[in-house]
Amino acid sequence: MGGEQVDPAALAADWTTAVLGTSYVSMNRRDLRRYLTGLATRLAASFAAPDWDRTVAAGVGRLMVAAHFTDTRSLERTLVVVGEHLAPSAPNRSGRLAALQGALAAGYAEALRERTLAEQERITIAAFAARVSAEEARWASEARYQAVFAGAVIGISVSELDGRIIQINDALCTMLGFTAEELSGRVIYEFMHPDDAPDDWAQIRDMIAGTRDHVRMEKAYFRKDGTELWTDLVVSLIRDQADEPRYLVAMVEDITDRRLLQTRLRHQAMHDPLTGLPNRSLFFDRLEAALDDENAVPGVCYLDLDGFKAVNDTLGHDVGDQLLRTVAERLSAELAPDGHLVARMGGDEFVVLVADATDPDEVRRIAERALATVRRPVRVEGNEIRVSASIGIVGRDDGGSGAAELMKAADTTLYWAKNDGRSRVAEFDRDRHRTDVARFELSAQLPEALRLEEFYLDYQPLVRLADGVTTGVEALVRWRRDGERLGPDLFIPLAEETGLIVALGGWVLTEACRQARRWHDALGGERPLMSVNVAARQVREPDFVDAVEAALDSTGWPASSLQLELTESDVMSADGGPLETLGTLADLGIRIAIDDFGTGYSNLAYLRTLPVHTLKLAGPFVTGYGPGGREGRGGEAGTAAVLSSVIGLAHTLGLTVTAENVETAEQHARLRSLGCDTGQGWFLAPPGTPDAVAGLLGRPLPGHRRSPFPGDVTRRPATG
């Protein structure tokens, strides 16, 4: 073959220099030289062998790639260096060298292609694996989400921040009665409800603005069919990865049933079971709310049926209940449509809360409508029942501060309506109320006054007109209260109302008899007649006779010198027990006088049958003027004629006659000429203290016979 021997070491050295730095794997020169020495030795042996094998050169090309000499310069420089070292050894085998270089390059290229594919595949598989695993996670969470969302019993919806619904589950669709198609794309604001609190939507806006993440409320919706759905609603804000608000998720629980139950319970607590009307607690709630509202001017009509007790007592409670139900229905039908609250306060009391009472006339009209409604006859179980009602009206400022005070004023006003004759409307009157309050205070002080002996008696002479002799006195009670003197007209009616009259009357009776006894013990002579006023209430007391007898016994005053004065109406209406009492008293020898005779409507024929001894003719008979100051028919002559016949009739019935309020000499003269037995009045003698009266007892009044100008003289006492 000839030529020089190939030096693999020299080849490796040059090869190293040629390719150093063309690999992306950093291999130091020594390691590279060692690696390339191995390759150079193989190449040299193969090139020198008689039967040449191209696979060795191709293998060397592959190993170049395996050692990461994948840069295009690596192959090019390798082929140059190998050619330079192999060519001198075989000058006539240039074909073999070219083949060797070709095989090396081919092996290199093949290795490089394989390697590139492998790398791509690795990336693809890795990428795919990554994608698959990510999808797996997504699928898993999606499944969980679907299970929660679609299968949930609570309603769930997802909406954009602008309120557009993007997803809604079956449960919520069922609750609302819509299909998912009907709902998606709609806006949550379409589901506003009149019962939404203003705050609710403000909170949703806060969520959209991102200042709030969670809201919980009770909210009502209208279902597709218009019925109401009540829910416990929780809305959560979902943020994106940048923490920006992204979605609103609403979770909705149907609480309609619970709410209905609550409503029913609340209704029961706030309504009257008999009539179904709002009860007093609901009424008070509404009234308080109206009073709290500075701009509102509420008014109240407080209504009480007249004579309802009689219906209950005579027709039974079932009929009474039915009557109440009918009245409730009618009142409600008449007034509720105008926005007035009609409530039952209890018993036979109803109340109308008038929202706007700015116009008092309007409130009065409402009250009159209520009255008219109640007056319509009611048919119950074959009975036609006619009832009326009394109504007290009050307005916002009539009671003071609160609802309770207002209703107290309403109660007072209702009482006025009753007292003024029932079946009518009374309006609150500040002055009248003040008087009532004063009266109330006064009546509250009565028991203490009795205990502290603040009462005392004045006495007014009863003068026998025939000779002017004081034959008796009338005891008149007074109250010395905080240094002022109160007349009986101010406190006797209160004492009658409260029942204190029984104790007070007992004291008067005893004190009067004791005084009479003192006078008689001191003066001797004929016993004066002690005339004592007695209230109907006292006579109704079962032990009244005992009380009178005890007074007589304890003071040693004889029954025959005691006269009890009862008003005309009290005597005329006396029946049963009280009438018996009067009879018993009369049997004891006590005289019974009818006080203020002529102010009522006595049936004289009936008078005959009563145990009465004296008529005390009231002022109008004596003065000739009727109540209200109207002069009677026939003037002076007419008055005289009436007086004459009354006196004559009384005498015919065996009654003596005492004229009250004799104020003038002229009246005195006329009464005397008409045969009136006794006179009492300022002209004769005013009421006075025991000492002042003592000097008059049993004697003719000084100078009264000598009155010079009949009709001109009016002696009025300094004190009444």
Least distance to Mg ion from the beta carbon of 660, Å?
Answer: 5
Q: 612: how many CB neighbours lie within 10 A of its CB?
A: 21
User: Shortest approach of Mg ion to residue 473 CB, angstroms?
Assistant: 11
Rounded CA separation 102/66 (Å): 18
> Directed axis angle between helix 430-451 and helix 488-498, to 10°?
80
The tokens of 158 are what? 């997802």
Region of 70-78, 194-202, 575-583, 655-663 interacting with ligand C2E (CB under 6 A):
655-663
CA 642 to chain centre: 63
Kindly tell me which of 85 and 616 has the beta carbon lying closer to ligand C2E: 616
Q: Hey, what long-range contacts does 638-644 have (CB within 8 A, 24 or more apart)? A: 640/670, 640/674, 643/617, 643/670, 643/671, 643/674, 643/676, 644/674
The 3-class SS string of 432-467 reads HHHHHHHHHHHHHHHHHHHHCCCEEEEEEEEEECCC
* Distance in Å, CB of 544 to ligand C2E, minimum: 12
| 682 sits near ligand C2E (criterion: CB under 6 A) | yes
| Cβ closest to ligand C2E, residue 515 vs residue 533 | 533
Residue 593 site contact among Mg ion, ligand C2E, none (CB < 5 to 8 Å, cut-off depends on kind): none
Judge contact between 23 and 69, C-beta under 8 A: yes
CB atoms within 10 A of CB 152: 14
Please give the angle made by the CA atoms of 388, 392 and 395, to the nearest 5 degrees: 145
In the complex, minimum distance from the CB of residue 443 to Mg ion, in angstroms, rounded to a whole number: 21
Stretch that binds Mg ion, among 573-581, 589-597, 637-645, 697-705 (CB under 5 A): 589-597
Instruction: Give strand pairing partners of 532.
Output: 475, 564
Nearer residue to ligand C2E within complex by CB, 334 or 660 = 660
Task: Tell me whether residue 165 or residue 476 sits nearer to ligand C2E (CB atom).
Answer: 476
The minimum distance between CB 707 and Mg ion, in angstroms, equals 23
**Minimum separation from the CB atom of position 634 to ligand C2E (A):** 23
Contact call for residues 220 and 193 (beta carbons, < 8 A): yes
> To 10 degrees, what angle do helices 635-652 and 665-673 make?
50
> Whole-angstrom Cα distance, residue 610 to residue 607?
5
Shortest CB 539 distance to ligand C2E, Å: 10
Residue 508 contact, options ligand C2E, Mg ion, none, Cβ 5-8 Å cut-off depending on partner type: ligand C2E
Enumerate residues 6+ apart whose C-beta is below 8 A from 511: 457, 475
Which of 574, 616, 612 shows the shortest CA–CA distance to 597? 616
Q: Does 533 bind Mg ion (CB under 5 A)?
A: yes
- CB-nearer residue toward ligand C2E: 108 or 519: 519
661 binds, among Mg ion, ligand C2E, none (CB under 5 to 8 A by kind): ligand C2E
When asked if residue 390 is in the footprint of ligand C2E (CB under 6 A), the reply is no
User: What length is written for the chain?
Assistant: 720
Which x/- pattern over 538-577 shows residues binding ligand C2E (rule: CB under 6 A)?
Answer: ---------------------------x------------
Chosen residue from 70, 332, 533, 614 binding ligand C2E by CB under 6 A: 533
DSSP 185: T
Which amino acid is present at 607? L
Q: Is position 200 an interface residue for Mg ion (rule: CB under 5 A)?
A: no
Q: Is residue 595 within the footprint of Mg ion (CB under 5 A)?
A: yes
Q: Give least dist CB 487 to ligand C2E, A.
A: 4
Backbone angles phi, psi at 622, to 5 degrees: -80, -40
In the region spanning residues 403 to 462, those forming contacts with ligand C2E, defined by CB under 6 A, are 460
Residue choice 427, 596, 663, 666 for contact with Mg ion (CB under 5 A): 596
Of 206-214, 254-262, 604-612, 660-668, the segment contacting Mg ion by CB under 5 A is: 660-668
Residue 616 CB burial class (10 angstroms; 0-12, 13-18, ≥19): buried
Which residue's Cβ has the minimum distance to ligand C2E? 681
- If the CB atoms of residues 596 and 663 are measured against Mg ion, the closer one turns out to be 596
**What character string, x for contact with ligand C2E (CB under 6 A) and - otherwise, covers 164-203?**
----------------------------------------
517 Cβ contact list (under 8 Å, min separation 6)? 555, 556, 557
Specify the residue, 427 or 565, whose C-beta has the smaller distance to Mg ion: 565
Exactly one of 565, 568, 570, 666 binds Mg ion (CB under 5 A); that residue is 565
How many residues form the binding site for Mg ion (CB under 5 A)? 5
Window contacting ligand C2E (CB under 6 A); options: 103-111, 189-197, 216-224, 679-687:
679-687
Q: In what side-by-side order are the strands of the sheet with 425-427?
A: 341-346, 349-354, 299-306, 388-395, 425-427
105-113, 157-165, 533-541, 629-637 -> range binding ligand C2E (CB under 6 A): 533-541
Q: How far from the centroid of its chain's Cα atoms is residue 65's Cα? A: 95
- Number of chain positions touching ligand C2E (CB under 6 A): 24
For the bound state, the minimum distance from the C-beta of residue 329 to ligand C2E, rounded and expressed in Å, comes to 47
CA distances from 544 to 507, 547, 578, 580, 586 (A): 13, 5, 9, 11, 13
Give, in degrees to the nearest 5, the angle at Cα 706 between 701 and 707: 95
Interface with ligand C2E in residues 462-521 (CB under 6 A): 476-477, 487-489, 492, 505, 508
Q: Could you say which residues in the range 236-295 bind Mg ion, by CB under 5 A?
A: none
Q: List contacts with ligand C2E (CB under 6 A).
A: 460, 476-477, 487-489, 492, 505, 508, 533-535, 565, 595-596, 619, 660-663, 681-682, 687, 720
Q: List contacts with Mg ion (CB under 5 A).
A: 533, 565, 595-596, 660
